[in-house]
Amino acid sequence: MSGADIKNSFLSSFEDIDTYIGNVTTEIVKNVVQIQKLGVKKVLVNNMHPIGCTPLRTSTNNYTTCDLLANYAASVHNKNLKQLMGKKNNAYMLDLYTAFTNIINHAPGEGSDQSNKFNDNLAPCCEGFYDTGFCGQQDDTGEPLYELCENPDQLFYWDEVHPTHAGWKAVMKALEQPLKEFLDRAYVP
């Protein structure tokens, strides 16, 4: 599940969000159990990144602030998933929410070296010319209907929902140590 899944079924009320996400997280945990029964020794499950901070959700306010309702949905998803996962042996919940937040939503002058290298954390590098357009769209003659930034390494997001290579590199740098610790842990039968 990703932010696009929530976006494509985005619901209008907090109650709708709670119900929908409760169903999704229950199914994720059932799938983890099933995967483990098949003999997979270690399972990595990522939580939801702050989907309200994607350019899709920040474009309405000129890429200046995150959408609280969308981030609420991500928080509910993450809380439910963590609670349902409990302390499952050999399963680890990778914290994308914190990794993304520490990079894209920190106070000016704070944050890691990785996060401070981005000029604009909530805007995309590639953007369609029109509200209904998208990155990579062309007209009938093959002319681009989108604009690219000059330095993708200086922006966290590539398009309305996907990080740039530099964005993912920063996220993975933040997750490297917890991943190593999980993978180095002894298997518990």
Domain count, the chain: 1
Q: Is 137 domain-assigned?
A: no
Q: Is 28 domain-assigned?
A: yes
pLDDT bracket for residue 107 (50, 70, 90): low
Q: Is 122 domain-assigned?
A: no
- Interval 49-69: pLDDT, tens: 999 999 999 999 999 999 998
- Interval 118-136: pLDDT, tens: 888 999 999 998 888 889 9
E-strand ranges in the chain read 43-46, 91-94, 120-124, 126-128, 146-148, 155-157
Give residue 106's domain range: 3-116+169-184
Q: Is 71 domain-assigned?
A: yes
How confident is the model at residue 35, as a pLDDT? 96
How confident is the model at residue 18, as a pLDDT? 81
Q: Is 132 domain-assigned?
A: no
Distance CA 72, CA 82 (A): 15
Query: Is the pLDDT score of 87 beyond 90?
Result: no
Q: Is 133 domain-assigned?
A: no
pTM, two decimal places = 0.86
**Tokens describing residue 189:** 């039968």
Q: Which helix (H) or strand (E) holds 165?
A: helix 165-184
Q: How many CA atoms lie within 13 A of 73 on its CB side?
A: 28
Query: Is the pLDDT score of 113 beyond 90?
Result: no
- Of these ranges, 19-23, 74-78, 85-89, the one predicted with the greatest mean pLDDT is 74-78
| DSSP β-ladder status, 91-94 and 146-148 | unpaired
Average pLDDT over residues 34-59: 95
Q: Is 138 domain-assigned?
A: no
Q: Is 36 domain-assigned?
A: yes
Query: Is the pLDDT score of 42 beyond 70?
Result: yes
